[in-house]
Structure 1
């Protein structure tokens, strides 16, 4: 892994929307012999983003409060990073259900240390059933976890990437994995509720009546009216319009139909030619 890490600004809203509460213990994050303080800061920031707080470091470099780690940590400099605990690899495997991460996987079951492995999404579903203290273990920037360490890990996770360059930067890999596990670690996010309540069927049916009247008033031929009315039904069937959306459309077509009827009335009254029906 390379250690080219970019420092970014804070982003995102502070509004929160309720989500189902996580039902499994939140994992701790372990980084084994990290070489670059900036990567530690990036991981701490990702932990803060996705609801994790316990960071454990195996043989880390010095973390200067005025240095790169704290500069890259964002608001995690206030809690996650200063509370990071230095531990040994032995302590991790003895006290936690462990998930090791690797970019290089075994191609078959002859590579027992790295096979089988799970993708982050598969790991998320697997951890739903693990009611035990869990540690997500990341390796060194250049070499990752070695085979001896992986042989002592309970599960192995790998992020799918391009075959010709599957190795992610350490901070990036941690961010991707923690993002995919967010359903287990974050009970609410800044995103609004995306559920849609479909408008009343009576209102939707009234819209279809208005639309068919509109097609008739514009002079559409019978077969075209039937086809376009059917296409509109299919479109709204997929779209699931809300009350606000369907009532806005009802108002628009009500006015359009009234104006078309008035145009026909004036044309007949003053013996004017109707607009083109072609």
Structure 2
């Protein structure tokens, strides 16, 4: 292979690698009034795999104050590494997504319309790799129309019509949660929620349950119905191996006790276990 071809291959490999390494959004808070909300947002960022926090005209964030108190483990990295920036710098350097609780009624006003829900925003950002900023506004007033008109997209969290305004920290947590597929590689949850028990064990349970039903003295048609109900129930439930083994032990003991009760009744010439 010639040097030129080798260089082209290396550049192509680098391009593939670059395209698979998505840039995570930065989070921008414009003129936050309450240090505690800044800490809450930093914590939400840490929860959902984000680390780059930028603040426009923030209050003083004392290391012994509520911002650090609310930040949890984000006090170790996200919060102390937050950058103070201007709104102009954010607009000039990022693809921007403004957040708002109040949206336009229709297309006659474009400051707050059209807007995406958090899920729609996640789907949209998943198709593009670009430096992106999620921009949150002030606690009481949010982003104003002039600021929103300078941002590229608008996102709004669907909420009750009579009270759609979320607390700033709550709004950030909801939105960043919905974007987690773009920002979190692994969670604390296992990849597989349930590992179903081996079918041989499940069938053993069905057989033993049949013996149990027979020991109760139920009529045949009722035993068949109850056996089918259990099969449908376990089919939907996807029991684990431990769950099936626990049920096997319980049903086996119950069956043994019923059989022993029948034996004692016959031995002492007493009434048998009540039958249908």
Higher RCO (Cα < 8 Å, 6 or more apart):
1
Task: State the alpha-carbon separation in 2 of the partners of residues 41 and 253 from structure 1.
Answer: 53
Say whether the 8 Å CA contact 1:23–1:128 is kept in structure 2: no
Q: Report the secondary structure of 1:51's partner residue.
A: coil
Residue 228 (1) aligns with residue 226 (2):
yes
1:124-273 mapped onto 2 (5 Å cutoff): 124-192=122-190, 195-273=193-271
Unaligned runs of 5+ in 2: 1-19
Question: 1:39 deviation in Å?
Answer: 1.8
Task: State the alpha-carbon separation in 1 of the partners of residues 73 and 215 from structure 2.
Answer: 62
> Would you identify which runs of 4 or more consecutive aligned residues in structure 1 move more than 4 Å?
none
Q: Report the secondary structure of 2:151's partner residue.
A: coil
CA RMSD of aligned residues (A): 2.1
Residue 96 (structure 1) aligns with: 94
Say whether the 8 Å CA contact 2:158–2:164 is kept in structure 1: yes
Under a length normalisation based on structure 2, what TM-score does the superposition of the two structures give? 0.85
Provide closer, same or farther for how the CA distance between residues 184 and 221 of structure 1 changes in structure 2, counting only shifts above 3 A: same
Provide closer, same or farther for how the CA distance between residues 100 and 236 of structure 1 changes in structure 2, counting only shifts above 3 A: same
Question: 1:194 deviation in Å?
Answer: 5.1
Question: 1:192 deviation in Å?
Answer: 4.8
Question: 1:255 deviation in Å?
Answer: 2.8
Residue 5 (structure 2) aligns with: none
Under a length normalisation based on structure 1, what TM-score does the superposition of the two structures give? 0.84
Q: Deviations over 1:70-127 (max 9, x none)?
A: 3332332222222111222222122212111000011222222211212222222222
Q: Report the secondary structure of 2:163's partner residue.
A: coil
Say whether the 8 Å CA contact 1:54–1:84 is kept in structure 2: yes
- Higher mean alpha-carbon deviation, 151-160 vs 58-67, is at 58-67
Residue 6 (structure 2) aligns with: none
Residue 69 (structure 1) aligns with: 67
Residue 83 (structure 2) aligns with: 85
Q: Report the secondary structure of 1:156's partner residue.
A: strand
Residue 26 (structure 1) aligns with: 24
Unaligned runs of 5+ in 1: 1-21
Question: 1:239 deviation in Å?
Answer: 0.6
Q: Report the secondary structure of 1:209's partner residue.
A: helix
99, 106, 109: which one aligns with 1:108 = 106
